[in-house]
Amino acid sequence: MSRLGELIAETCPTGVVYKPLGDLCTVFNGFAFKSKSFNSDGVGLPIIRIRDVNTGFSDTFYSGEYDEKWIVENGDILIGMDGDFRANRWKHGRGLLNQRVCRLQDFSHEVIADFIYYQVQDELDRIHASITGSTVKHLSSRELQRSRVPVPPLVVQREIVRILDTFTELEAELEAELEARRKQYEYYLRTLLLEPDGRTSMKLGDLGPVSMCKRIMKAQTSPEGDIPFYKIGTFGGEPNAYIPEELFREYRDKYSYPKTGDVLISAAGTIGKAIPFDGEPAYFQDSNIVWIDNDESVVTNPYLRNWFKVITWATDGGTIRRLYNENIRRATIMVPPIEEQRSIAATLDMFETLTSDLSVGLPAELAARRKQYEFYRDRLLSFEELS
């Protein structure tokens, strides 16, 4: 930062000139490509729409004819002109500039393109905040062209770009590390479980009955109480309903109740979500939270829990997807010998722990880096305007 301070003191100590963005580059609008030529088969070039500016990636392709001027290349600065007004540097190869996405091009000799990239987001945020009374906000090319941005000397621009690029590169490295760990875990999950050699194929219904707790009526619950009652919306989280301990003991002793280690499954909402029962006193909503009362001499609970992550459930329609007992009973898994099950489960649990630790630690570090980046960006891009 001291180097930048020295450069500013040497070259623009009293401020800099502000100019309309339209004087520094061209705002080039995308084209209304015909959706009948869109496809998801990889035929043609990716079509870059507003949502793709935000994600930096498009999986929709255009197979029709086009003019070369609509082609987007790596490094092009794109802006989504509806919604949040985000700027992004394109990094996913050649694509086509769709309508309501613009590209900044033909930059003046007074500016570096990457400096404008960093600078323009502040202007986009200002314009976005100034638009009221609209559910979805829209940006016009004219308004963008009229936006005024500072034009410090090129040597100052280069130093600012260098500093901000360092932050964005570090963020990209952290995101890539997290994604690599997730992919590694998914690879081992599928490789270790789906390998058929020397294994028996069994239906879940052959491992044991699908079990559930006794139905609890709403009138039997309260927002506070003795025993947490987990419904589908609170499964795996914090309970918001409780039942009396006397009722819990009666139902636990009279009706089906999970054993410690049994794998509880969500049959509605996020279907197939699997959580081992820790044995702490709790009750679970019937039909929506179930378990297989399996014989652990045939299939261990840790092995079964991992299988629930890769099973493709055959569900029965409706607005709310759900698993019925028959869906669960029909599902098939591969069953190796018990010792192999234990080895596979231990390996996958180790990878899951590593991935979970990264999933907690890296996002926190990313959030800290983003705050640091935004702090420095705001400082680096603010200049006194020459009168």
- Minimum mean pLDDT among 86-90, 279-283, 367-371: which range? 367-371
Whether residue 386 contacts residue 16, with contact meaning beta carbons closer than 8 Å, is answered with yes
pLDDT reading at 70 higher than 50? yes
State pTM to two decimals: 0.62
Residues 364 and 387: their CA atoms lie apart, in Å, by 43
Residues 23 and 32: their CA atoms lie apart, in Å, by 26
In sequence order, the 6+-apart residues with CB closer than 8 A to the CB of 348 are 185, 188, 189, 192, 193, 306
What would the pLDDT profile of 306-335 be if each residue is shown by its tens digit?
A: 999 998 776 555 444 678 999 999 999 999
The helix (H) or strand (E) run that includes residue 158 is: helix 154-194
DSSP H helix total and E strand total for the chain:
11, 20
Structure tokens at 314: 């055959």
pLDDT reading at 1 higher than 60? no
In sequence order, the 6+-apart residues with CB closer than 8 A to the CB of 43 are 61, 63
Residues 344 and 359: their CA atoms lie apart, in Å, by 22
Whether residue 264 contacts residue 274, with contact meaning beta carbons closer than 8 Å, is answered with yes
Residues 262 and 209: their CA atoms lie apart, in Å, by 12
Residues 61 and 210: their CA atoms lie apart, in Å, by 45
Whether residue 168 contacts residue 43, with contact meaning beta carbons closer than 8 Å, is answered with no
Binning pLDDT at 50, 70 and 90, where does residue 195 land? confident
Which residue, 78, 37, 81, is CA-closest to 60? 37
Q: What is the mean pLDDT of residues 252-274?
A: 93
